């Protein structure tokens, strides 16, 4: 909160999977679509994405999306540091990846964006998960188009009084 006084801190992660076998092609939110979250009032987006995000963050900036990246946090090398970072957030919005499990286990309000044909663990319905009482599933209804799912996530963030 020291870096962004008066702002709600929303962690974001926009890609999951490293291969076609684990659906990387359907678990990828275009950086331009994150404008929907960035336009929420008094919100600062925080990078929770694992791996090198420099190019993606530059692309996001080209769309007017400011995502803060803390160089000290590398979830691939130190999950404890990412857990501390997530614990300081008001909420997490993430594609179905490891981030949602850590956030959910920590009790942070978590909005899980799942593709049209998600992994079995997320069930068939939108809303609460079987795994985490503080997490909600937001289902993507159109292949590789995340705008509607992000708009509904924004509505959920407002309804839950996060923003």
Q: How far apart are CA 63 and CA 77, in angstroms?
A: 30
Secondary structure (3-state) at 13: strand
Q: How far apart are CA 15 and CA 35, in angstroms?
A: 16
Greatest Cα pair distance, the chain, in angstroms, is: 42
For position 1, what pLDDT does the model report?
Answer: 57
For position 37, what pLDDT does the model report?
Answer: 97
Radius of gyration of the chain (CA): 14
For position 120, what pLDDT does the model report?
Answer: 82
For position 161, what pLDDT does the model report?
Answer: 95
For position 21, what pLDDT does the model report?
Answer: 47
Helix H or strand E encompassing 59 = helix 54-62
> Can you name the residues that pair with 28 across neighbouring β-strands?
15
Q: Which residues of the chain have pLDDT under 50?
A: 19-21
Output the pTM of the full model: 0.93
- Reported as a single tens digit per residue, the pLDDT across 88-129 is 999 999 999 999 999 999 999 999 999 888 888 888 889 999
For position 20, what pLDDT does the model report?
Answer: 45
């Amino acid at each position: 909160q020291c870096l962004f006084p008066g702002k709600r801190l929303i962690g974001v992660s926009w890609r999951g999977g490293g291969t076609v076998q684990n659906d990387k092609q359907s678990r990828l939110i275009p950086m331009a679509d994150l404008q929907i979250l960035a336009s929420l009032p008094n919100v600062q987006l925080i990078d929770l994405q694992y791996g090198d995000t420099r190019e993606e963050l530059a692309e996001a900036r080209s769309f007017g999306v400011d995502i803060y990246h803390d160089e000290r946090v590398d979830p691939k090398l130190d999950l404890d540091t990412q857990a501390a970072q997530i614990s300081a957030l008001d909420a997490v919005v993430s594609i179905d990846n490891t981030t949602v499990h850590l956030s959910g286990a920590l009790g942070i309000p978590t909005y899980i964006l799942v593709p049209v044909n998600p992994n079995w663990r997320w069930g068939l319905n939108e809303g609460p998960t079987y795994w985490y009482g503080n997490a909600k599933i937001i289902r993507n209804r159109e292949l590789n188009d995340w705008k509607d799912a992000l708009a509904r996530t924004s509505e959920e963030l407002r309804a839950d009084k996060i923003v």
